[in-house]
Amino acid sequence: MNNDTISLLQECSAGANMAMSAIDQVLEGVENPALRDALTESRRVHDRIGGETRSLLRAQGQEGKAANPVAQSMAWLKKNWKLTVRPGDETVADLIVDGCNMGVKSLTRYQNQYPAASGHARALAGQLIDAEELAPVLSAIQGALQLGMEQTKKVFLTIFLFAHGYASIIANNSLQYDEALIQAHLERA
């Protein structure tokens, strides 16, 4: 396992740990059952991916990386301040979205910073990015429509095709769509 692979896996481990910590900090106060379920599922996904990164690292005699203590402290302060000023599920959702955006930005930067990382490590980073981008959307649709996840993915694909198709036609009078790519993202979510 090369150094880029180890470094990327360590960043994936830190990112998963940060996400789980953020969810743990807000989950108890969430009142909306759909939001609680979405956060619980997101935590489960981050725990699974984090566990896989730690297993791969341990197999190489390496350790997973803890979330940055400064970043965790700042997140804790921000969470407490915002929830004191405006308590409620809307604020929790805003905080989680902000965290997801930071996670996507960081993981994308690390994928570019470690170009020689193995395909497996890059795939795990991609799964974490998907968990930050696509999984919450799917969970919200699933909760709103009371569907199973496979049926939810089919609904999402239909909505995506419709929106993407019209947006492409309007923007440049052409339709570029890669169904295999979208299907791969749905399977990873």
Instruction: Could you list the beta-strand ranges (E) of the chain.
Output: none
Whether this model's pTM surpasses 0.75: no
What is the C-alpha to C-alpha distance for residues 107 and 113, in angstroms, rounded to an integer? Answer: 10
Residue 173 has pLDDT above 60, yes or no: no
Between 185 and 153, whose confidence is greater? 153
Residue 170 has which token pair? Answer: 């309007």
Between 177 and 77, whose confidence is greater? 77
- 11 neighbors 106 (Cβ within 8 angstroms): yes
Give the pLDDT of residue 113.
Answer: 96
Between 126 and 35, whose confidence is greater? 126
Show contacts of 119-122: CB within 8 Å, 24+ apart: 120/5, 120/56, 121/4, 121/5, 121/8, 121/9, 121/12, 121/56, 122/8
Give the pLDDT of residue 33.
Answer: 86
Q: What is the pLDDT of residues 122-170, one digit of tens each?
A: 999 999 998 887 766 777 677 777 888 788 878 877 777 767 665 665 5
Give the pLDDT of residue 92.
Answer: 87
The letter for the amino acid at 79 is K
Between 72 and 3, whose confidence is greater? 3
What is the C-alpha to C-alpha distance for residues 63 and 71, in angstroms, rounded to an integer? Answer: 20
- 120 neighbors 55 (Cβ within 8 angstroms): no
What is the C-alpha to C-alpha distance for residues 189 and 185, in angstroms, rounded to an integer? Answer: 6
Q: What is the pLDDT of residues 15-33, one digit of tens each?
A: 999 999 999 999 998 998 8
Give the pLDDT of residue 166.
Answer: 54
